[in-house]
Chain A
């Protein structure tokens, strides 16, 4: 599965800049990102080319970091594409905790990162219903 790096950030000026600076200096490329925030803090979620290295250097730099398994799902880049996949998931009872779009895309498809409650169940449903999702290596290499 694709590894997402999650980082705890206080809502203070310059925090996001310092995370991205640390990653940039280590030669790590950010592939996708999202921020969930409250008035006091936020959680930055990243898909990067080298998640283990990113985890280690952020940890060493003193950030609170965790690794989370997520799925990168290929979705037709046309009206109703995302709705189709979401309907499949709803129909099969797969709970989504959050999702966000990938920055770069492959050809005519869009990529969406899904955090689901049960990864194996989601993988089984996707396989059955012909929804394509990418291997970790494919994602990191994008």
Chain B
């Protein structure tokens, strides 16, 4: 089912023409109205009319989170404040928050995109959507909310937190679709267990999970435990919020809405554009944004792009499930380690829970990685020998995948902090 068949299934050639026209407009607009972009383009010796084909985008300078911070709060806006009708902001966990703005048309676009995304994941006017993304400055809550209202679904704006109440609402209101982070979905399952509620007795059919990278094995886990279809959604506030890309029922990549966003994959080290199919950092240029157009934004998310047609009928490119973040990556003794790699290994061992924490420390001159894994009843034994064997097995599997020595520590259930938003997976104690 499509929300906007004409756009979502537009033939490639037509889509590329549309993208080029919109790209040119965007470049002219930022050059004219945003001093930051004009200065950067001038410094690189690029004028707006140098962009004649889609490939020419590679001549434009990148935009990073730091650029948004340097222009805090409104320096990159391309419209007067009188045209800005909404402001959102990132959590700012790693410094000054980044601030984003929307015109009335931007909000219309965003709402339409979320309507597409929800429809793609099977939502209709008959759905009862419980939106457990945080409402407020974070884009997740309101982004999903307006899309869900657009398709005339019934929306429960439960926001994040108060997990027992979330479960109660789910049960009493007959929620059919839940939206939250994947780690929060797993936590809700634990709380259901505690409350003696079986997910099978709920009306829940599907979940749309995003805002943090999660693996294919975590999807299987969520789907088996909650008895639902789990869809991955992708978005980031700097671009628009949730609704940049969404999985279709094929679950083979997320359709990225190319009529509004132009994706590229680059080598995160050299910044060079990589050919289709190659794995690297996702870079996005907005094609229709008015308040905050962004040129070649470095998302830090690692993925690949697949331009082959999809059996769902949508023509828009599919991005692979995000494999990690280039800034989530920890380098231990010269080896790149992503939390997602650890998650895959843990979930491949029967009975092991996907609740884990990576602790990186420097002992003397050597970096050490310790992985904390919770011991569930499924793997618990009254014999120390068997637990030690489990620890060794996990260690061996992790070392095989990561290629470095790892220390595994078995910890008590729930001793790793649960998150109602994005899960914290790494504690880096190294003082570099």
Is the C-beta of A14 less than 8 angstroms from some C-beta in chain B? Answer: no
Contact A45 B382 (CB under 8 A): yes
Most chain B beta-carbon neighbours within 10 Å: one of A8, A40, A41, A98: A8
Contact A36 B384 (CB under 8 A): yes
Distance in Å: Cβ of A83 to nearest Cβ of chain B: 24
Selected from A6, A62, A115, the residue in CB contact (under 8 A) with B413 is A62
Total chain A interface residues with beta-carbon distance under 8 A: 25
Contact A6 B384 (CB under 8 A): no
Distance in Å: Cβ of A5 to nearest Cβ of chain B: 9
- Contact status of A98 and B381, CB under 8 A, knowing A9-B412, A64-B413: no
CB closest chain-B residue, reference A42: B384
Is the C-beta of B105 less than 8 angstroms from some C-beta in chain A? Answer: no
Contact B387 A6 (CB under 8 A): no
By a CB distance below 8 angstroms, the chain A residues around B194 are 60
Total chain B interface residues with beta-carbon distance under 8 A: 18
By a CB distance below 8 angstroms, the chain A residues around B412 are 8-10, 15, 62-64
Distance in Å: Cβ of A72 to nearest Cβ of chain B: 16
- Contact status of A38 and B384, CB under 8 A, knowing A10-B412, A63-B412, A64-B377: yes
Interface of B is mostly: loop
CB closest chain-A residue, reference B410: A41
Distance in Å: Cβ of B180 to nearest Cβ of chain A: 23
Contact A6 B382 (CB under 8 A): yes
Is the C-beta of B380 less than 8 angstroms from some C-beta in chain A? Answer: yes
Interface of A is mostly: strand
Q: Determine the distance from Cα of A58 to Cα of B182 in the docked complex, in whole angstroms.
A: 28
Contact B413 A66 (CB under 8 A): no
Is the C-beta of A119 less than 8 angstroms from some C-beta in chain B? Answer: no
Is the C-beta of A65 less than 8 angstroms from some C-beta in chain B? Answer: yes
Contact B413 A98 (CB under 8 A): no
Q: Determine the distance from Cα of A38 to Cα of B392 in the docked complex, in whole angstroms.
A: 13
Distance in Å: Cβ of B385 to nearest Cβ of chain A: 8
CB closest chain-A residue, reference B381: A66
Which residues of chain B in 360-397 are interfacial with respect to chain A, using CB atoms and an 8 Å cutoff? 375-377, 380-384, 387-388
What are 19 A-to-B residue pairs whose CB atoms are below 8 Å?
Answer: A6-B382, A8-B387, A36-B384, A38-B387, A38-B388, A40-B409, A40-B410, A42-B384, A43-B381, A43-B383, A43-B384, A45-B382, A62-B412, A63-B413, A64-B376, A65-B377, A66-B380, A66-B382, A115-B383
Known: A63-B412, A64-B377, A98-B383. 6 other contacts (CB 8 A): A6-B382, A10-B412, A40-B409, A62-B413, A97-B383, A115-B383
Across the A-B interface, give the 9 residue pairs with the lowest CB-CB distance, nearest first.
Answer: A6-B382, A36-B384, A68-B382, A64-B380, A8-B375, A10-B412, A64-B375, A62-B414, A66-B380
